[in-house]
Amino acid sequence: MPTKTHLFAYFRRNWFRYLIGIVLVFASTWFAAQVPRLLGEAIDLLRDGEPMSAVRFAALLLALAAFAAFAFRFLWRYLVLGFCRGAETYMRRVFFAHLETLSADFYIKYNTGDIITRGISDINGIRRMFGGAGVGILNALVTFALAAYNMFNASGPVMAGIAIAPIPFLLIFIMKLRPHLKARQSDIRAATSAMASKVQENLTGIRVVKAFAREEGESERFEKLSRGKWASEVRRVKLAALVGPIIQIVYGAVFTVFIVYGSRRMAAGLMSLGDFTAFNGYILMMIGPIGMIGGAIGEWQTGLASIARLDEMLLYKPSVADRAGLAEEWAERKNPLAAGVASDAADRWISLRNLTFSYPGVPAETPPVLQNISVDIVRGETLAITGPTGCGKSTLLSLLSRLWAVPEGEIAVAGLDVNDIPLNALRDAIGYVPQDNFLFSDSILENIRFFADGVTDDDVFDAARAVSVHDNITEFARGYETTVGERGVTLSGGQMQRIAIARALVRRPRILLLDDCLSAVDAETERAILSGLRGYLDGATAIIVTHRVAAAALADRVLVLNEQGGVAELGTYDELMAKRGALFALAELQAGAESEITGEGAEQ
């Protein structure tokens, strides 16, 4: 749905706040306009020698009007800006929820910084658009109108006209100034970043600078850049500082005219002294909004651009999603993936039929990543997949949990096509450990538990023990409470990989997918962990991608893929080794250079 639709949905539920706020804009401005009028009235009463009680009454009214103007102004700002904050919060949630539905293709297309900018700054821009900008413009217009109306009543149409007349010109002036100011502002930014890059460059190359005794030369270059920044700051202020004095001078001129004109009206008995003093109050009222309105219009424009940018992402369609009506169908069915449910598809528990796959968006002439793979995996079996780098092992695993759209009829789980299983049911049944073990900025405990229902601390410890990382964790000063991830401590690659596996294990998955996730430990440890896992698995089906033949030997069967992404051979380890085929060749190669492969790290 586009941003507008979401905003409208929010508006439908909260419109009264906005509306009341807008009504109060009128009220507060009306009261504010009474203040100069009442001051004038009090002055007239004083001049005419009226009793003090009348003067005090006028003063009391003035105080009340001032308070009412303040209270209503506060209220409308609270209602309207609160409404906008609410809209911002709402949009931010909508945006994040939408991000959660998008698949890998989206995250490849847009980089993280771009997504965050839209999720924070652009949504922020929308808030400003409806708050500061929208109501700000309204408030300015109402203020102009009421001040002019009061001027009209007190000092006649001519003076009201003269007071209002400069507004459009001033606004045009401010709007014309804006792009220039923006340009100069960006000059400053450019100058600042040029300076920062120079410092950065200099610090990185400080040894070279010193080796060639170029300290003075470098200082001179920096001096030039610093001078540039100085000049651009001055250039900006020369424009920016114009606005205030010009408004001031224009309205000073208006008041000067009024002194001459007003005194004549007073002489003619058309105007009182109070009306005269009130006039200055009205001018003061008008000046503030003139300065603000220019900024408000700019914010409105920025807001529109933000909406367009946000739409680009909100209208991006998830490439993997449940087909319509699937959830209802599923609710009536007995979940064949649940633990302990008998299945007549046990011997083809996971079934690949001529699976051929190309990543979306790649040119048609590129050969597919996976080609014609047909394999039946028996329930409870452990299958190892191995093969050269780039043969599609990881792609195969990601397709099993439908990170990419899977072609109809090529992958079935528990006798059902994966497209006929709701994503959440499928993924709940699968424990998938991808190659790049990503941990969140949270405690180790919460990273392993990862919101799994009914998982106790002991379950977490058990899972950690199963991958022999429990002892490492308890050695940390804060044990399982140690924060990891971007903002936490740095774990070794092996520790991170094992915590990531524990995260998958703790949910007792029916199907476990391990994507070469022990590459950072040595071959011996990998074997130990993998054989330890079997006890923990308890009848679950496991697919283990590994590039170490020794690790593959532990599986019930081994699937070797060839470089074209097709099946090279499939069978038990002993069978394949006896056949002296692809697996055997791989084993020979690794036996010769075991040490090299251990040090190689994660495969790309």
Partner 1 sequence: MSEKQTEKLPDGRMSEYVEKKRRRTLLRLLKYFGFSKGKTALALLFAMLVNISQIAQPLVVRLLIDDYLAPANFDFAAISVLAAAYIAVTLLSGVSGYVQQVTLTSLGQHILHKLRTDLFSHIQHLGMRFFDKNASGRILTRVTSDIDELQELYANIFIMAIREGILIIGMLITMFALDAGLALWCMASVPVIAAITVLYRTIARRTFIRVKTLLSRINGFLAEHVTGMRVVQIFNRERKKLDVYTEMNDEYYRLGLMQVILNSLSNPLITMISNLMIALLIGAFGKRVGLGTLNIGILYAFTAYIRQLFEPIAQLSEQLTTAQSALISADRVFDILDNTEDEEDLESGEIRAGSLLGRIEFRNVWFAYNDGEWVLRDVSFVIEPGEHAAFVGATGSGKTTVMSLISRYYIPQKGEILIDGIDISRYNLKYLRKELSIVMQSVFLFSGDIAYNITLGREDISREEMIAAAKAANCDAFIQALHDGYEHQVAERGSDFSLGQRQLISFARALASKPSLLALDEATASIDTETERTLQSRLEDYARGKTLVIIAHRLSTVVDSDVIFVMNHGQIIERGDHASLMAQKDSAYRKLYTLSIRGSD
Q: Tell me how far, at minimum, the Cβ of 589 lies from partner 1, in Å.
A: 19
Site for partner 1 in 307-336 (CB under 8 A): none
Confirm or reject binding of residue 603 to partner 1 (CB under 8 A).
Answer: no
Tell me the C-alpha distance between 238 and 113, whole Å: 35
Maximal CA-CA distance, the chain: 121
196 interacts with partner 1 by CB under 8 A: yes
Q: Which is nearer to partner 1, 271 or 555 (CB)?
A: 271
E strand or H helix at 52: helix 52-101
Q: What is the DSSP letter of 434?
A: -
Is residue 72 a contact partner of residue 31, using CB atoms and an 8 Å limit? yes
Radius of gyration of the chain (CA): 37
Residue 205 is a binding residue for partner 1 (CB under 8 A): yes
Amino acid present at 326: L
CB count within 10 Å of CB 77 equals 17
- Of the pair 185, 372, the CB lying nearest partner 1 is at 185
Q: How far is the CB of 115 from partner 1 (least distance, A)?
A: 5
360 touches partner 1 (CB under 8 A): no
3-state secondary structure of 72: helix
Cα separation values, 156 from 195, 250, 266, 276, Å = 58, 20, 12, 11
230 binding partner 1? (CB under 8 A): yes
Q: How far is the CB of 321 from partner 1 (least distance, A)?
A: 12
Nearer to partner 1, 54 or 171 (CB): 54
Q: Which stretch binds partner 1 (CB under 8 A): 143-151, 273-281, 385-393, 574-582?
A: 273-281
Q: Rule CB under 8 A: choose which of 25, 33, 69, 543 binds partner 1.
A: 69
Contacts of 594 (CB under 8 A, 6+ apart): 523
CB of residue 441 to partner 1, shortest distance in Å: 6
Closest CA to 336 of 416, 428, 431: 416
Q: Which is nearer to partner 1, 198 or 527 (CB)?
A: 198
Tokens, residue 536: 């923990």
**Alpha-carbon gap, residue 495 to 480, rounded angstroms:** 13
- Share of the chain residues as helix, strand and coil, in percent rounded to the nearest 5: 65, 10, 25
User: Can you tell me the distance from the alpha carbon of 43 to that of 272, in angstroms, rounded to the nearest whole number?
Assistant: 9
- The 3-state DSSP class for residue 385 equals strand
* Single-letter amino acid code for the residue at 420: D
Angle ∠(506,543,557) on CA atoms, nearest 5: 135
Beta carbon of residue 191, minimum distance to partner 1 (angstroms, whole number): 11
* Interaction residues for partner 1, span 526-585 (CB under 8 A): none
Q: Looking at the DSSP assignment, which residues form a beta bridge with residue 354?
A: none
Of 165, 183, 190, 237, which lies in the binding site for partner 1, with binding defined by CB under 8 A? 237
Chain positions 143 to 182 lying near partner 1, rule: CB under 8 A, are none
- Any contact of residue 190 with partner 1 (CB under 8 A)? no
Please name the residue ranges forming H helices in 215-242: 215-240
Stretch that binds partner 1, among 55-63, 294-302, 354-362, 387-395 (CB under 8 A): 55-63
| Positions in 21-50 near partner 1 (CB under 8 A) | 35, 39, 42-43, 46-47, 49
Q: DSSP assignment of 328-376, as one string?
A: HHHHHS--TTSTT---TTGGGSEEEEEEEE--TTS-TTSPPSEEEEEEE
Interface region with partner 1, contact rule CB under 8 A, candidates 88-96, 386-394, 536-544, 596-604: 88-96
Q: Per-residue contact track with partner 1, 379 to 408, x per CB under 8 A?
A: ----------------------x-x-----
Asked if residue 263 binds partner 1 (CB under 8 A), the reply is yes
Query: Would you count residue 341 as binding partner 1 (CB under 8 A)?
Result: no
Q: Considering only the stretches 73-81, 166-174, 461-469, 594-602, report the one whose residues sit in contact with partner 1 under the rule CB under 8 A.
A: 73-81
Contacts of partner 1 in 494-523 (CB under 8 A): 503-504, 507
Name which of 269 and 361 has its Cβ closer to partner 1: 269
Distances (CA, A) of 210 to 104, 195, 467: 48, 20, 52
**Span from 135-143, 228-236, 304-312, 569-577 in contact with partner 1 (CB under 8 A):** 228-236
Nearer to partner 1, 169 or 212 (CB): 212
593 binds partner 1 (CB under 8 A): no
Of residues 66, 145, 297, 378, which one binds partner 1 by CB under 8 A?
66
Q: 120 or 589, CB closer to partner 1?
A: 120
